Amino acid sequence: MPDQVIHQVAPGWAVVAVGLVGVFAILAASLDGVLVSRHDGRSSVRGWKKPLDETARLMRQRRRTTLAADSLLWRIGGAGLVVVACLKFAVVPLGQWTLADLAVGIVWFNALDVMVWALVWMIGWGPNSADSLIGGYRFLAQALAYELPLMFALTAPAVAAQSLRVGDVVAAQQGLWFVVWMPIAFAIYCLAVVAFSVWGPFSPAAGADIAGGILAELSGPDRLLVLAGRYALLAAGAAFAVPLFLGGGAGPLLPAWCWVMVKTLILLAALVAIRHRLPHLRADRFVEVGWLILLPAVLLQLLVVAAIVAGRG
């Protein structure tokens, strides 16, 4: 059994953490490229190169602005997604090391994904363009549907561990991972990660029907930041699921930090893979699902968890 004491590392390691988020995001983008290439019957080699090609293309492309754009908010929104993803990653323990061992780690994560509301809205609002604005509306409608279920899904592991500290949640999973006895909370958490990353079935905000929505007016490095931000959010979401539901660093043979990475990558790959496989969940219809199905389901889950914890004593 590995040592479960969590050490907070020096702030300088933040550079490594940001690098890790970057690596995860690049791998996610590569995987997406491969999946699309293979589906279209082209070579996967081209797919792997997707992050490189797209980065080169967008670094070379000029930035642009629109008439009467709210540039400040627009740029804050665009740059913010990557920042939020890195801040989320800061509370994920890699084995026994963590960057920030907050007493309220879970609340920290939740606060940051509420921040995504503001950022995506600003990206939609900023360029003074109807398409982008509609993208912003759609994201807010979607967020109204996933946020409350997500909050309760995050609460379930906290109740079981009787702590909001991420390290305690990991420690409480010795023997049995939370995903086993709170599968609904885990499923809703994953769904919400895809949703706050504006990804796959939850990307009507960036839909082709509104010329790319929140992405419609972005070009060059600004676009690159937003696209990278989406992958980074997906990666941060996958990484946070590991201490929360998947037993943290628990696993045979490999060191704990390695298991965290492996689990993160597997979950991230699964989240990336669903992208093109499902139709969009249109925001107006998804709101119904969010409130009538997801919310009651996760509350029920929470009730079960609370009853078990109380019963255990």
What residue type is assigned to position 40 of the chain? D
Q: Does 176 help bind another protein (rule: CB under 8 A)? A: no
Binders of another protein: how many residues, by CB under 8 A? 55
What is the footprint of another protein within residues 234-273 (CB under 8 A)? none
Among 4, 8, 44, 61, binds another protein (CB under 8 A): 61
Judged by beta carbon, residue 165 or residue 230, the one nearer another protein is 230
User: Where is 7: in which H helix or E strand?
Assistant: strand 7-8
Judged by beta carbon, residue 103 or residue 273, the one nearer another protein is 273
Among 276, 296, 303, 308, binds another protein (CB under 8 A): 276
Pairwise CA distance, residues 98 & 90, whole Å = 7
Closest CA to 248 of 302, 161, 178, 192: 178
By the 8 A CB rule, do 86 and 235 touch? no
Tokens 């994560």 -> residue: 109
Q: Does 228 help bind another protein (rule: CB under 8 A)? A: no
**Tokens (6 digits) for 197:** 């990353």
Q: Which stretch binds another protein (CB under 8 A): 22-30, 43-51, 76-84, 298-306?
A: 43-51
Among 3, 63, 254, 292, binds another protein (CB under 8 A): 63
Q: How many CB atoms lie within 10 A of CB 176?
A: 11
Among 209, 254, 270, 292, binds another protein (CB under 8 A): 209
Distances (CA, A) of 310 to 130, 205, 305: 52, 42, 9
Q: Which stretch binds another protein (CB under 8 A): 47-55, 95-103, 234-242, 250-258?
A: 47-55
**3-state SS, residue 277:** coil
- How much is the CA Rg of the chain, to the nearest whole Å? 19
Judged by beta carbon, residue 3 or residue 209, the one nearer another protein is 209
Q: Does 26 help bind another protein (rule: CB under 8 A)? A: no
By the 8 A CB rule, do 34 and 42 touch? no
DSSP code for 253: S
Neighbouring-strand partners of residue 94:
97
**Tokens (6 digits) for 220:** 């060059």
Q: Does 56 help bind another protein (rule: CB under 8 A)? A: yes
Among 184, 193, 232, 281, binds another protein (CB under 8 A): 281
Q: Which stretch binds another protein (CB under 8 A): 178-186, 207-215, 230-238, 290-298?
A: 207-215
Pairwise CA distance, residues 138 & 280, whole Å = 12
**Is the C-alpha dihedral spanning 226, 294, 240, 162 positive or negative?**
positive
Judged by beta carbon, residue 7 or residue 39, the one nearer another protein is 39
CB of 84 to another protein, least distance (A): 23
What is the footprint of another protein within residues 102-141 (CB under 8 A)? 128, 130-131, 133-134, 137-138
> Which residues of the shown chain bind another protein in the complex (CB under 8 A)?
37, 39-42, 46, 49-50, 52-54, 56-57, 59-68, 128, 130-131, 133-134, 137-138, 201, 203-204, 207-212, 215-220, 223, 276-282, 284-285
